[in-house]
Structure 1
């Protein structure tokens, strides 16, 4: 699980161009990191590619914390 979280944090850090140490498990992508809809799409695509999963559009709006994303990947990873 920690490995998944670190990979997610690295993806977000690279896309948002922020230091990885500023991203915590409960960091809210929208309110804390000011992620916009285009950034979310880029993050989702990177996560899908990295973890070889498909994330339905209906789930995307729930992707707001590192904890949620990690749990989702664990449950849906192939």
Structure 2
């Protein structure tokens, strides 16, 4: 009977640890991506030049603002 309780407690602890680890890792990645966005102005400027557009600073600022607004709505 005692061995059964040890096994049950070990399984419950394992499940709780996996769930807790998942949520901690998720929160860490969300904060990391918020502080370090994947696309910056230089990358956007390079992308627009590759598409054959001459990027003005106004257009880049507008696109960055739109991307930040979209990120905040999620």
| TM-score normalised per structure 2 | 0.30
* Greater relative contact order (CA < 8 Å, ≥ 6 in sequence): 1
Larger radius of gyration: 2
Q: Larger helix proportion, structure 1 or 2?
A: 2
| TM-score normalised per structure 1 | 0.29
